[in-house]
Amino acid sequence: MSVKNQLKTAVLLALLTALLLWIGSLFGRAGFIFALIFVVIMNFASYWFSDRIVLWMYRAKEAKESDYPKLHKIVKEIAHLSGLPMPKVYVIPSEQSNAFACGRNLNHSAIAVTQGIMNLMTEEELKGVIAHEFSHIKNRDVLIATVAGTIAGVISYIGNMFMWSAIFGGDDDNRGGIFSLLFLAIITPIVASIIQLAISRSREYIADETGARIIKNSLGLASALEKLEADVKSHPMRFGSLSTAHLFIVNPFKPSGLAGLFQTHPPMQLRVQKLKAMKF
């Protein structure tokens, strides 16, 4: 992992630690101690198990080669072309067409594709998508993306807890506490969105270009992206979390409300234009 990504990971974990310790301190010494124990466990889990958490979140099952020979053939071919170890391959039970990569390093990585993408894409288009995901692994940004998704999910969950506590746990004699809970319910999702924006949208442009160069074909991925954008609108993801949207090659959710203000993916039109302008 590059020094830059090591620094990003450290900053994200430090931010989570500081935020949760601050929240815990609002509930006195006992709250601070509980928060301290929680962040130690969370930091450990984010590094070692964030990929498993995300795969579980999307109900991904490891794809056996006997069941998905075409998919394994493509992944093996691109692993050879990219000079990377063969990642584990997972399938997500969703009709939406999408894919993501996760893991903590080159030797511990995974690529997950939806059932829908295998039904929709031609072989050249699917190669483009898989090459894009290999690029995230090759560029060593899968750890930072996976950890960021896990952290953002935890913070969003905390915000939801504060919201329901404010609604059902307060009374007229404790208005100050209610307002504090409401403030935290508002601010925590914003912090989660800012964490997601720490993953620069430029990484998608880089992965598009790197993936196209790996297979020496940019038009397959350009065509795939156009199909993906249209398919996501007709087959929105019905499970998972907005906090992990940045992991996917295209946002699997329809942006709305606060999420619409913090886009983790660059405009699709620009991505397609850049790919079509590439020459081989």
Is there a domain that residue 113 lies in? yes
Is there a domain that residue 213 lies in? yes
- The answer to whether residue 278 scores a pLDDT higher than 90 is yes
> Which residue among the candidates 133, 204, 209, 229 is catalytic per the annotation?
133
- The answer to whether residue 184 scores a pLDDT higher than 60 is yes
Listed in sequence order, the residues at least 6 apart from 60 whose beta carbon sits closer than 8 Å to its beta carbon are 90, 91, 92, 112
**What does the pLDDT look like over 96-105, one tens digit per residue?**
999 999 988 8
The count of other CB atoms within 10 Å of the CB of residue 217 is 18
Residue 88 confidence class, pLDDT cut points 50, 70, 90:
very high
- The answer to whether residue 151 scores a pLDDT higher than 80 is no
Q: What is residue 18's predicted lDDT score, i.e. its pLDDT?
A: 79
Place of tokens 């990569």: 101
Angle between helices 219-234 and 202-215 (to 10 degrees): 130
- The answer to whether residue 263 scores a pLDDT higher than 80 is no
Mean per-residue pLDDT, 15-39: 79
Listed in sequence order, the residues at least 6 apart from 263 whose beta carbon sits closer than 8 Å to its beta carbon are 201, 251, 255
Is there a domain that residue 250 lies in? yes
Place of tokens 């310790």: 21
> Which of 15-24, 56-65, 68-77, 218-227 bottoms out in mean pLDDT, i.e. has the lowest?
15-24
Nearest to 219 by CA among 164, 279, 140: 279
- Rounded CA gap, 187 and 230, in Å? 33
Listed in sequence order, the residues at least 6 apart from 92 whose beta carbon sits closer than 8 Å to its beta carbon are 58, 59, 60, 98, 112, 113, 114, 115
* Better-scored residue on pLDDT, 187 or 75: 75
- Rounded CA gap, 152 and 167, in Å? 23
Q: Collapsing DSSP states into helix, strand and coil, what is residue 100?
A: strand
Mean per-residue pLDDT, 214-228: 96
- The answer to whether residue 233 scores a pLDDT higher than 90 is no
Is there a domain that residue 17 lies in? no
Q: What is residue 38's predicted lDDT score, i.e. its pLDDT?
A: 80
Q: Does the annotation count 77 as an active-site position? A: no
Q: What is residue 193's predicted lDDT score, i.e. its pLDDT?
A: 64
Residue 194 confidence class, pLDDT cut points 50, 70, 90:
low
Is there a domain that residue 16 lies in? no
Q: What is the CATH number of the domain that holds 219?
A: 3.30.2010.10
Q: Collapsing DSSP states into helix, strand and coil, what is residue 104?
A: strand
Q: What's the mean pLDDT when you consider all of the chain?
A: 82
Is there a domain that residue 230 lies in? yes
| C-alpha separations of 85 from 48, 78, 101, 158, 236 in Å | 19, 10, 14, 37, 32
- Length of the chain equals 280
Nearest to 274 by CA among 199, 174, 206, 224: 206
Listed in sequence order, the residues at least 6 apart from 258 whose beta carbon sits closer than 8 Å to its beta carbon are 189, 190, 193
Is there a domain that residue 131 lies in? yes
* Better-scored residue on pLDDT, 108 or 244: 108
Q: What is residue 112's predicted lDDT score, i.e. its pLDDT?
A: 97
Q: What is residue 33's predicted lDDT score, i.e. its pLDDT?
A: 87
Nearest to 92 by CA among 72, 62, 121, 137: 62
Range of the domain at 112: 56-143+200-276
Residue 114 confidence class, pLDDT cut points 50, 70, 90:
very high
Q: What is residue 118's predicted lDDT score, i.e. its pLDDT?
A: 96
For the chain, the domain total comes to 1
Nearest to 133 by CA among 203, 202, 67: 203
Is there a domain that residue 43 lies in? no
Radius of gyration of the chain (CA): 20
0.75 exceeded by pTM: yes
Mean per-residue pLDDT, 273-278: 95
